[in-house]
Amino acid sequence: MTQRHTVLVVDDSAFMRKVITEMIDACEGFHVVGTARNGLEALKQVHALDPHIVTLDIEMPELDGIQALGYIMSETPRPVIMLSAGGGGADDLTIRALELGAVEFVRKPSGPISLDLETVREQLVAALHAATQVNLRGVGMLARPRHASPSSGERTPFGATRAVVIAASTGGPRALAEVIPALPRDLGAAVLVVQHMPAGFTTSLAQRLDLLSPLRVTEAADGQGIVHDHVYLARGGYHMRAERGDHGLPPVIRLDTSAPVHGVRPAADPLFRSAVEVFGDEVVGVVLTGMGRDGATGLRLIRERGGLGIVQDRATSTIFGMPQAAHAVAGAERVVALGDVAASIVELLGARRGTA
């Protein structure tokens, strides 16, 4: 008999609790064992019912979703799916929740009380299935935000001749909050990142990483010049590619809405392929936690053309799908724990510089 995964539904709206419960109970393999109307009730229910998965509203009275998530992940870790109304501060809170260990989020389509929640049924079902694959050892560690080093003044940006390209999906915001702030401000390469995430949330993620990082971090814009010591985050809903600049100008970012790859847009494989065309063997490809196989064929091309590869290890990956596929298809110079990814990037860039 197929195991039924138990779910605790937490939302301050009785209507939303009812709708979410009905949607989950209609999904084969999942059953709602209880509900809670705020974070305090949620903590009591987690201890009493021991659900496999928790769906957690962000904005609630008494104890909000972020505070409740912190307690859950520190005391009784389990997969948590955030339900966010989206927009403004809610997007920022969603990013923080993902850093703290939430495995996925579903955006309520029309505010805190969404009468049309049915329109995101597929996203909720996908998030539930992702939650069943989570490696709790990989999410048990809370992100430890690093503070950016004080700037020593403005520097003249140089057109990039080397690039680090990074792929991330489920668990990625938490992983990026560990990796990007640990990179030095004199990295000597551009960093281009694809995180599977819809429009809107990538703006908040870029701003959050920028606050934490010595490197400048921005959401990518079409036609933007690619320079060293700058991190470019792909905009939600757009593929991001690198393109050679005209007449000796720096390479540039190109964004487009061509068909999804591996069912997602942005996808990492188009970025990885374009990086090879622009930067040749001066590319370090990095595949972090996530479901699926995005980044695998791109990393293979990078290494076939003389570039170098890093994949996150199983123990620290929220979901090992993408790193596992990348290593199987492409191999890698380094298979490392999340906390060692940044140092490995610096090491491989230094090794390549030493052989130049």
Q: Which of 52, 196, 239, 327 is catalytic?
A: 196
Residue 169 bears catalytic tag: yes
- Counting Cβ atoms within 10 Å, is residue 150 exposed (0-12), middle (13-18) or buried (19+)? exposed
Q: What is the rounded distance in angstroms from the CA atom of residue 210 to the CA atom of residue 320?
A: 27
Q: What is the rounded distance in angstroms from the CA atom of residue 234 to the CA atom of residue 130?
A: 22
Cα 235 versus chain centre, distance: 12
Q: What share of the chain is helix, strand, coil (3-state, %, to 5)?
A: 40, 20, 40
Q: Which of 11, 12, 210, 294 is catalytic?
A: 294
**Nearest partner of 128 among 11, 236, 26, 205, judged by Cα:** 26
Q: What is the rounded distance in angstroms from the CA atom of residue 329 to the CA atom of residue 293?
A: 9
Return left, alpha or beta for 327; rule: phi > 0 is left, psi -120 to 50 is alpha, else beta. alpha
Cβ-proximal residues to 284 (8 Å cutoff; 6+ apart), any chain: 163, 164, 165, 189, 302, 307, 308, 309, 310, 345, 348, 349, 352
Q: Which of 84, 169, 317, 344 is catalytic?
A: 169
Please give the positions annotated as active site. Answer: 169, 196, 294
